Structure 1
Amino acid sequence: MPPTQPPPPTLKSYLTDIYHTIPLIHDLPLALTRIKSFPTRLTLSEVSGSFGDFGTFIPLTIALSRANAISLPSAIFFAGLSNILAGLAWDLPMPVQPMKSIAAAAVVENLSRSSVTASGILVGSMLILLSVTNLIEVINMIVPTTVVSGLQLGLGVKLSSLGITMITTLSFASQIDCGLLGILASILGLVLLKNEASTEETKIKLLPPAAVTLFLIAIIFASIELKINGDDPLYDLPLKMFGPSVVYLAVDDITLTDWREGFFNLALPQLPLTTLNSVVSVAALASTLYPERRKPPQKQSQPHHKISTDDDVLSRREVAMSVGLLNSIFCLFGGMPNCHGAGGLAGQHRFGARNGTSVIFLGLLKIIIAIFFGASALTFFEAIPNSILGVLLAIAGAELGLTGLLLTLKDLHPSNPETKTKLFVLMCTAVVIVGTGKTQYGVLAGLIAYVFYGDGYEDYKKLLKRSRHASEEMEDVTTHVEEEEDEEDV
């Protein structure tokens, strides 16, 4: 008798595995428990952490709204709803950010709102396909940890550089929003962050959290700016309550040209960034930031469509399914293309967030702004000082870059000969991302360095051998089962 092997896949087992990749749905009782415990778990630290992603969210959202590529109230409303769903599903400070490549291309190329909507639906559909077919795990096997670390480091440096540029392009002190305000906000932020990271014995408990303090200062300066420069045509004053509907059918006006532009100009360039930074990288980052939440591999109904191959905090298939569903559904009704960015997770963690309460609070705040202040949201966002947003962005980028370095360095020792090789691959990825501004080019450069300078060639050979061996074993098992069935029939 041959050794007992798992049965071949069936349609029922395949659909069961897909069901378990849908966040929130398969664990609804736990989500209901998180709703009940929300008031008691909402601490000042969680509120502070919820603002850690504003440095990325606000500038990109404003840019898309100015270009008439999105409906601002609808975009904020569905971003808030996505925050709430993500917080309930995973109980992690999972961010929701505009897709950067789509945002940049839509603004630069002046693409229509219909093209942006089409791109969100298309990217979402492709990510659902990657999750359902488990191809996301193939991507994870092909891309080594050093390249993921380089991706995080490169994006972290880019985010920090963007934040610093937002400050340095301002006048030093001739306006309310100036370089001096950015310098003072940076110093204050560093002092408050150091206090947050201190031990209980050395912490000054009277000092407030960094992100809450900086955001409140931003609101004060925005109010002063609107009061002093209210006659500026940039600001639509007086501020008004309510506004256009936050939910509408966005696909009514999409033409074949919009679908084509959305696919070739927006969705295709975005897919590599979303797959690596919003799925593979964010899952790796969650395991680095919250190692105590690692879970044992779930027992699967059949071997070919595993939810996770290791003890990750987050399943890559779940994250891919989440981004896919949020975009393919919410973009139909006015949402903008969103993703779960590693930079946002690092920023919210750095400013104090540790569980899903922070993003649930943030989601409620966005929904309130969209419904009650949708008519004037853009006006108020325009008045928020770039100097303070730049500080938030620079801190979030520094945290992401540092986390990427630690992801590779945690298992290495200076005397280990592999250390230099892995750091070289990491730096190749990061430097090309920073130098070209293209994430996909950096990942490609890192993979080339991994193959020709590192151990990638041998690793990929072993991976192919294992895949062939697993396929042969499955063929043997299938043949054996068929033979047994034939014997029973006889």
Structure 2
Amino acid sequence: MQSIRMRFTRTELAGAIGDLGTLLPLSVGMIAVNGLDAMGLFVGVGLFYLIAGHYYGTPIAVQPMKTIGAYAVATGATATVVHAAGIWMAILLLLIAWFDGAKRLQRIVPKEVIRGVQVSTGLLLALQGVRFIAGISPLQAKLSEPWLGMGSLAGIPWSLVLGVISLFLLLGLIDSKRFPGALVTIVCGIIFGLIFGEHSISFSPSLPALLPHGLPGLSDFIIALPAMVLPQLPMTIGNAVFANADLANKYYPEGAARNTPRALCTSMGLACLGGALLGGMPMCHGAGGLAAHYRFGARTGASNLMIGGIFLMLPLLAGQGMFDVVRIIPVAVLGTMLLFAGIELCLAMRDMETRGHLFTIFLMVACTLTFNLTVAFLCGILVAWLMERGVISV
């Protein structure tokens, strides 16, 4: 098996931080609304990045499971319900891996459906990025830069001002190896947050606790299964397993031999279990995150080791103050990175040329925007199956 030699460079570091736009907003929301343990959550993220980077040898994303996270934040679910959802996902993903169910499912998921998942996910990321820049996301209901306590400058939302500046920085330095765009943009955002942010940062070194919220009860598991787990599982299989494995082999054909559906199910299952034990969140390997890492310069597993080391060390040094540490970065800066990552993921469809394939992809996009990615995934499989058998044509 070929492996890609690790390169610890500025470009790799820029790629390493390329997915913060997806990771941080939902993580911070789940800490603030659902009471997840800040230190345990980010220690879990760091460990998952490190272990995944070492095993796969190529860049691979670590993200919150979005359906679970979004539902939890929207409904104010308790931390134990979130942990129950994570344990459910761990059990299901490990069972799929054990019985090699992903390989069987892969036979009925054609490439145009995988591309549809990638384009739909990319569009959702890009739209969320634009909302962050415009200051119109639910997170920014009161202030355009809620983490910094800033509203507007002469009637113009601060997020729009910072977003436009960030866009120019990223566009101007996107291909620079000396001053990588993502790295420069994040550093400038941190400096701005330190100077103008309203919250103080305290460091109290400590270790994460095991099961800080206790074991989930039976009622937690009953609530989590229909509301969070069943909607999340098809999205995870479509996006974090099939779409991710396909994208890894497209980006890193010489080193992605381990990025198999079975391995991805196993690592995500273990991460979900570990996240629950540490008081954190269910985690996955989203294809959008991989596109973000790649777009901003990640080419080897070193990017995972660098971002994993950062996320492991910071919470151990800051303790529960980690919640304030991650809120230094302006939301608009994260929005610009989300926008670029989303567009990069959408471009995965460039190898689709037939009318039928393109019809399936855009039908899935429409279903995603109208309903959700789970419905789109199922509709895409059905339409592709009917087209293959000549029942319908376009």
Does 2:345 align with 1:400?
Answer: yes
8 Å CA contact 1:155–1:434 kept in 2: the answer is: no
Query: How far apart, in 2, do the equivalents of 1:268 and 1:243 lie?
Result: 38
Question: Aligned AA for 1:384?
Answer: I
Does 2:77 align with 1:96?
Answer: no
Query: How far apart, in 1, do the equivalents of 2:310 and 2:378 lie?
Result: 39
Spell out, residue by residue over 1:406-454, the C-alpha distance to the aligned partner (whole angstroms, 9 max, x if none): 3x42xx4xxxxxx111110111112211232x111111221232233x2
Query: How far apart, in 2, do the equivalents of 1:104 and 1:149 lie?
Result: 24
Query: How far apart, in 2, do the equivalents of 1:456 and 1:164 lie?
Result: 40
Larger displacement relative to structure 2 (357-366 or 375-384): 375-384
Spell out, residue by residue over 1:53-85, the C-alpha distance to the aligned partner (whole angstroms, 9 max, x if none): 100001011110111341111000011000000
Match of residue 463 from structure 1: none
Match of residue 214 from structure 2: 252
Counterparts in 2 of 1:294 and 1:243: CA distance versus 1, 3 Å? closer
* Structural mapping, 1:51-66, within 5 Å: 51-66=17-32
Query: How far apart, in 2, do the equivalents of 1:266 and 1:68 lie?
Result: 14
Residue segments in structure 2 that go unaligned for 5+ positions in a row: 136-143, 145-150
Match of residue 153 from structure 1: 119
Query: How far apart, in 1, do the equivalents of 2:291 and 2:271 lie?
Result: 21
8 Å CA contact 1:251–1:332 kept in 2: the answer is: no
Spell out, residue by residue over 1:223-270, the C-alpha distance to the aligned partner (whole angstroms, 9 max, x if none): 1222xxx3xxxx3x3x21126642322573421111111222222211
Match of residue 85 from structure 1: 51
Match of residue 364 from structure 2: 429
Query: How far apart, in 1, do the equivalents of 2:278 and 2:379 lie?
Result: 38
Question: Aligned AA for 1:360?
Answer: L
Does 2:214 align with 1:214?
Answer: no
* Structural mapping, 1:164-179, within 5 Å: 164-169=130-135, 170=144, 173-174=153-154, 177-179=158-160
Does 2:315 align with 1:370?
Answer: yes
Question: Aligned AA for 1:114?
Answer: T
Query: How far apart, in 2, do the equivalents of 1:253 and 1:291 lie?
Result: 42
Larger displacement relative to structure 2 (358-367 or 369-378): 369-378
Question: Aligned AA for 1:261?
Answer: I
Match of residue 170 from structure 2: 189
Residue segments in structure 1 that go unaligned for 5+ positions in a row: 1-26, 197-204, 296-312, 413-418, 459-490
Query: How far apart, in 2, do the equivalents of 1:69 and 1:103 lie?
Result: 12
Q: What is the SS of the residue equivalent to 1:42?
A: coil
Query: How far apart, in 2, do the equivalents of 1:168 and 1:329 lie?
Result: 36
8 Å CA contact 1:69–1:107 kept in 2: the answer is: no
Match of 2:299 among 354, 359, 383: 354
Does 2:381 align with 1:381?
Answer: no
Q: What is the SS of the residue equivalent to 2:18?
A: helix
Query: How far apart, in 1, do the equivalents of 2:186 and 2:390 lie?
Result: 48
Query: How far apart, in 2, do the equivalents of 1:134 and 1:429 lie?
Result: 26
Instruction: Give the deviation of 1:172 after TM superposition.
Output: 6.5
Q: What is the SS of the residue equivalent to 1:127?
A: helix
Query: How far apart, in 2, do the equivalents of 1:432 and 1:190 lie?
Result: 31
Question: Aligned AA for 2:301?
Answer: G
Does 2:88 align with 1:122?
Answer: yes
Query: How far apart, in 1, do the equivalents of 2:93 and 2:370 lie?
Result: 28
Spell out, residue by residue over 1:91-146, the C-alpha distance to the aligned partner (whole angstroms, 9 max, x if none): 11111111101100111111110111111111011001001111111211111110
Match of 1:420 among 352, 355, 360: 355
Counterparts in 2 of 1:456 and 1:131: CA distance versus 1, 3 Å? farther
Question: Aligned AA for 1:315?
Answer: T
Question: Aligned AA for 1:283?
Answer: A
Match of residue 381 from structure 2: 447
* Larger RCO of the pair (alpha carbons < 8 Å, separation 6+): 2
- Corresponding pairs, count: 377
Q: Which has the larger radius of gyration?
A: 1
Instruction: Give the deviation of 1:350 after TM superposition.
Output: 0.5
Spell out, residue by residue over 1:382-422, the C-alpha distance to the aligned partner (whole angstroms, 9 max, x if none): 3421111100110111111112x13x42xx4xxxxxx1111
Q: What is the SS of the residue equivalent to 1:375?
A: helix
Does 2:336 align with 1:391?
Answer: yes
Using the size of structure 2 for normalisation, the TM-score is: 0.90
Query: How far apart, in 2, do the equivalents of 1:271 and 1:69 lie?
Result: 24
* Structural mapping, 1:222-371, within 5 Å: 222-226=193-197, 230=198, 235=199, 237=200, 239-242=201-204, 245-250=207-212, 252-293=214-255, 295=257, 314-371=259-316
Q: What is the SS of the residue equivalent to 1:80?
A: helix
